[in-house]
Copies of this chain bind each other. A is one copy, B any other.
Amino acid sequence: MAVSDVTAMFKALGDPTRQAIFEFLCERCCPVAVEETGEVHQVQGVTVGEVCCHVTGSDKFSSTVSFHIKELRLAGLINAEKNGKFMICSVRREAVDAMLAYLSALPKSDSSLCN
């Protein structure tokens, strides 16, 4: 994952609404199942409606939340796949790992010579 990708992730997470959505998805996303074929897929996720409900407190669809979900997806922080008439959202763990790796790799004060 390139540095520019991490920039987009930080930018996306830098909005309170999106951060709330992302944390909600982190809490709600469930284990993955491994088929006999070895294929791994998401067992469960959260619908856009559930996210709207959690974020706005109302049970009505919110185009604003939909907008933020799209931003999170474009930044690579979440996945969203259609299931019937629902969109199921889930966290991309690689994204979290990429941000952790980026921050961990920043030169530390005592790891480099001083001029």
Q: Residues of A with Cβ closer than 8 Å to B?
A: 3-4, 7-16, 19, 23, 26-27, 29-32, 43-44, 91, 93, 96, 99-100, 103-104, 106-110, 112, 114-115
CB distance B96 to A27 under 8 Å?
no
Q: Which of B4, B19, B31, B114 makes the CB contact (< 8 A) with A16?
A: B4
Q: Which of B13, B27, B91, B108 makes the CB contact (< 8 A) with A7?
A: B13
CB distance B43 to A107 under 8 Å?
no
Q: Is the interface of A mostly helix, strand, loop or mixed?
A: helix
Return A68 CB to nearest CB of chain B, in Å. Answer: 14
CB distance B100 to A43 under 8 Å?
no
Return A107 CB to nearest CB of chain B, in Å. Answer: 5
Return A75 CB to nearest CB of chain B, in Å. Answer: 9
CB distance A23 to B109 under 8 Å?
no
A108 to B90, alpha carbons, bound, how many Å? 12
Q: Which of B8, B31, B91 makes the CB contact (< 8 A) with A14?
A: B8
